[in-house]
Amino acid sequence: MTSSDPHAATMTGEEHAAPAVEIGSVLASRYEVLSVLGAGAMGTVLRVHDRELDETLALKVLHTHAHGDVARDARALDRFRQEVKLARRVTHKNVARTFELGESGGLRFITMELVEGESLARLIERRKALPPNEAVPLLAGICDGLAAAHAASVIHRDIKPENVLIETTGRVVVTDFGIAKQHDPGDASRTQQIVGTPFYMAPEQVEGIAATPRSDLYALGVVAYEMLVGEPPWSGGTVAQVAFRRLFEPPPDPRLKKRELSDALASAVMKCMARQPADRFDSALAVRDALVHSIRASVAPQPAP
């Protein structure tokens, strides 16, 4: 369901240890472990067979703190519960379904929909830059998933290619609400931690200011840039340096790398990555409309002379 992420370090300063779960073992007398699908900062995702319902699911096991810190483990469990609560709010074909929170032998886990396919990160790794007529439909699916999440007052806070799956049928699925939060329009406070993936987080997240739906739109713009150009808009230096560069540098124009991109498409991507949230799109659906329009405009028939 998820893949390992070379940019995965969330800026939280905590270390976690993956639990030892053997292939063929059975969790909660029900879920037979078939294989490991991937691992992130907070959990390991397994492919399991639900013996009771005779279905194949994804199961995410919570990592414990590397040094046995009970307090930190308690905080991690609280975030795990929050992930289930928020993810279950969002019901949409472009968002992976979350089923339940369970426990087995001291291990906490979440059962989720298994999406058969590959991550957007793997697709970019294989294909590098995608042509606009392929990239935009995928981005439109992400927009639809984000629109559903935002309508349910859920901010994802970690949109990146590793958290987008492309099913073999072509369906685009947003996954991993591990650091999602409920949106509070009146919350402009600073957070205690910088939370997110540095390569994709919005400037306000880098500054430790509470994220908003427009923070997700910033990350969407970074993902769009990477899909169209074949590399992230910012790279080089340490993880922290990459994150902080966006505080002082304007969003790069993707046409500098791909001259064939239309003005409308490049403008939409750059508007998503605007430094100030107020300068970005109003909503994920507005991003979707702009992206789709950019493709239609590029193939529109020219008037006869």
Catalytic (active-site) positions:
158
Ordered DSSP codes for the chain: -----TT---TT---EE-----TT-EETTTEEEEEEEEE-SSEEEEEEEETTTTEEEEEEEEPEETT--HHHHHHHHHHHHHHHHHHTT---TTB--EEEEEEETTEEEEEE----EEEHHHHHHHHSSPPHHHHHHHHHHHHHHHHHHHHTTEE----SGGGEEEETTS-EEE---TT-EE--TT--PBPSS--S-TTT--HHHHTTBPP-HHHHHHHHHHHHHHHHHSS-SS-SS-HHHHHHHTTTSPPPPGGGT-TTS-HHHHHHHHHHT-SSGGGS-SSHHHHHHHHHHHHHHHHSPPPP-
